[in-house]
Chains A and B, each alone.
Chain A
Amino acid sequence: MRVAIIGAGVIGLSSALCIHEQFHGLVPSLELEVYADRFTPHTTSDGAAGLWQPYLSDHGNLQETLWNKETFDYLLRHMHSAAAKEMGLFLISGYNLFTEPVPDPSWKNIVLGFRNLTPKELELFPGYSYGWFNTALMLEGRSYLPWLTNRLTPRGVKFFHKKVESFQEVSGDGVDVVLNCSGMRSGDLQPDPQLQPGRGQIIKVLAPWVKHFIVTHNLKSGIYNSPYIIPGSEFTVLGGVNQHGNWSEENSAKDHKSVWDSCCQLLPTLQKAKIVDEWSGLRPARPSVRLERESIRLGNVQAEVIHNYGHGGFGITIHWGCAMAAARLFGNILQEKKQLATPPGARL
């Protein structure tokens, strides 16, 4: 049984790992192949700061909230292991700031120690009158993707550096299931007008004295169109750009100035920070994550496709919950193809 995974960002690699972990014992002939034109450190997941934090509201999409929770709990369990450092995983506390009171987020009981900010804490952030403090996790793509790759390679998973132009290209030639984890470029494989870029631009600086994340919110401008500061293990990410519909991956001088000025205003000590890099990336934004099966007729072959894309600015936050959901869909396919006598987990 050959499975092709298109995409080697956090979604593609974690889906591949989840499927292999669950099914390789049950399906001895299971062969996974990852196809991508970009691998770490050049994926969208590598550019993201890596803060686990969903959007402010799940808009009633409880499924996504559950996937977020599954991811957080999964990562938290790994915190006690010595692997945490290699995974790029660590605990971090910080601030979410608002100019007016807002309802508590869907994730308030998922993170640790969620509470409102005290008046004294708000003195640190002139212009903001309300906010939250909580402890969350950082999962840095630049470490996590290599860690996933290092788990996949000894399992015999093969990697192919190529741009896949169509499902046909991989589904012919004996591939039974295709996992579409192509993120921003899913539209190239199958048009999806709901999938739009949420262009971000970030500045990476050296500011090791910053120990907290600070995410500000402007309810009118929308999520991540307001300054944010996220300290990583090597450098601190300054951001605050989320341009819907902008496909440019080039750094813009105007956005640089806007991010720099607004972050320095938020945290004056950043003026002394040394800039080491700048990056633009496209959040694969969609009203909801597309995580579903599709049977596609390609020539005289019926191909099973599992879509897992459209994670916007919360891919790292939701990845493991989605990987497990994709693995469940894979299990269903196996059952239908009579590759499995009983569903996984039902055996005693």
Chain B
Amino acid sequence: MASPKVAVVGAGVIGLSTALCITETCPSCSVALLSDQFSPNTTSDVAAGMLIPHTYPDTPIHRQKQWFKETFTYLFAISNSAEASEAGIHLVSGWQVFKSTPKEALPFWSDIVLGFRAMSEAELLKFPQHQFGQAFTTLKCDCPPYLLWLEKRLKAAGAQMYTRKVADLWELHSEYNIVVNCAGMGAHQLVGDKQLFPVRGQVLKVHAPWVKQFIRDGDGLTYIYPGIHRVTLGGTREKGSWSLSPDAGTTKDIFDRCCSLEPSLQGAQDMEVKVGLRPSRQGVRVQREVLSQGGVELPVVHNYGHGAGGFSVHRGTAIEAAHLVEECISALQVSSSRAKL
């Protein structure tokens, strides 16, 4: 197979980074990215893009750690380069605070982020309702800039992008040799995965440029993440809710919770309210599958179900998915050479 034609479905952070990885590992591949939505209208655009991993119950920890490490290393290099501001990648320090001592003193990612340590008594005075805390420095991917930067790199690598709603992966079998499913929440419809469910998140994006540090409540529900131009205030975790409409009562609740962690937010301006559906799953699905109908086969690589942790592991799962694409290509070459015999 001279030039395998690969279609990547989905243009959020997973689709774009997976497509980019494929162009890197398989330069002879012809890569097309298909999506009904592009930045700034993807779920990724709503997310703050903080590199603080979510723990997936059904994925082995060593694999999650590997994904996070690869993602952190990749973004660390970009943050240190002249491209950092264009890519929207920057370092940010801050605190994760707990009302009661967490079960794990050291999360699996504590040696990957920078300078991880327990907060001092003096630091905890700022959070009278919290008993324990962790201080560290991590990375943030601001969207849309990061997604636009990925799109730019993809175009430079010769990938094509098409606005197209894919209703069924099989519809691509005649145009493409391999399909990569990065449809996020869309995979629920696209492949009928009943294990995939939305966890609705509402966030506020405000102008508060004096907020330079992140603050996250260890319960994961309340957080303040300063980005390049706006600070993301969150949030909610509504399991099973499909509603993309902002809720006014929720807005007030989020704002109040964040102001109690950081009172100066009272002076924040220009609030935008956004909603995203985290494409959640007990384990991220990075897996090969072969679809077949009437004797025709279509190799598929799935890369979806990242839930609350998409940004934290995106590069790692993209690398893994790109390896699976390579395996698919090898398998196709074997079967096509068999066909020649």
Contact = CB atoms under 8 A, between A and B. Distances in A.
Same complex for A and B? Answer yes
Interface of A: 79-82, 84-86, 88, 90-93, 112-113, 115, 117-118, 120-121, 123-124, 133, 135, 138, 207-212, 231, 233-234, 268-269, 271-273
Nearest to A233: B210
Nearest to B266: A82
A295 B16 CA distance: 74
B257 to A, nearest CB: 16
Given A209-B88, A269-B79, 4 more contacts: A85-B210, A91-B213, A209-B228, A212-B93
Contact of A115 (B81, B115, B226): B115
Interface in B100-122: 114-115, 117, 119-120, 122
A90 B264 contact: yes
Contacts of B93: 93, 133, 135, 211-212
A209 B213 contact: no
Contacts of B85: 207, 209, 269, 272-273
B229 A272 contact: no
Contacts of A85: 210, 264, 266-267
Contacts, number: 99
Interface residues of B, number: 37
A44 B229 CA distance: 28
Given A112-B120, A118-B115, A269-B82, A208 B209 contact: yes
Given A84-B263, A135-B123, A209 B210 contact: no
A79 B114 contact: no
A152 to B, nearest CB: 22
Interface of B: 79-86, 88, 90-94, 114-115, 117, 119-120, 122-123, 126, 135, 137, 142, 209-213, 226, 228-229, 263-264, 266-267
A90 B123 contact: no
A272 B115 contact: no
Contact of A233 (B88, B209, B213): B209
Contacts of A93: 93-94, 137, 212-213
A287 B50 CA distance: 46
Contacts of B209: 208, 233-234
Contacts of A90: 210-212, 264
A121 B211 contact: no
Nearest to B214: A211
B109 to A, nearest CB: 13
B212 A115 contact: no
A209 B94 CA distance: 15
Contacts of A233: 209-210
Nearest to B83: A269
Contacts of B137: 93, 121, 133
